[in-house]
Amino acid sequence: MNRLLLTDELVLLAYDDGGTNRLGRPHLDYGLAGAVLLELALAGRVEVTGGRLAVTDPAPTGVPLLDRALATVAGDRPRKPKDWIGKLAKGLPDRVLDGLVDAGVLRRESDRVLWVFPRTRYPSPTGAEPAVETAARERMLAALAAAGPVDARTAALLTLTRAVGLDRKLFRELPRDRVKARLAEIAAGDWASAATKKAIEETQAAVLVATTAAATAAIATTTVS
């Protein structure tokens, strides 16, 4: 397939080799919405002005998934990034997974648990980790191990995995203090324009707020039950 989007990489990293989502819902949904906004920011289509997301260039990117989101943002009133996370998240996992299945990176398997509960899994066609997922992992690990500058897309992916808590799963074999310090260093680095970095920082914060709120609500529901 063509160059992977951040949405594709996040899904591949979130699903284990058995094809099961280990990040959980709605964390994956919110993370994917954040990934779409990060892609639009990196493409120079949006930025944050006065605390609200603004379209700076409405020209299509040529990627249907991104152009759909761009048109949605452009056609609505200015909103804070956190307000867009929930709106853009709807249906995103299915669209991203469908794209990876169509490209042959994953396959769809549907069955029933205990012959009653429907389940859909998305393993790779070979049963092993897809090469493009391995490449994403290696790119992030190299960035964490290094001390120099990081390219914008890798920095954005690391920022995204941190926002949804996936970094604790991906880098559990690395010293946690080292990972935390390096991620902070990367976030502060000079790898994108000021406007793009601002949009990415605001998006990371928005995803973190959304996932934290979802986790808190889930705990409260469990406690009440």
List average pLDDT for each run of 10 residues in the chain, which is 225 residues long. 86 93 89 95 92 93 95 93 92 95 94 80 92 94 89 91 89 90 85 83 88 66 49
Q: Residues in the chain, how many?
A: 225
3-state secondary structure of 46: strand
Angle among Cα 130, 126, 133 to the nearest 5 degrees reads 5
Q: What is the pLDDT of residue 139?
A: 94
Q: What is the pLDDT of residue 205?
A: 87
Find all residues with CB under 8 Å of 99, minimum gap 6, and list them.
Answer: 8, 65
**Phi and psi torsions of 60, nearest 5°:** -60, 150
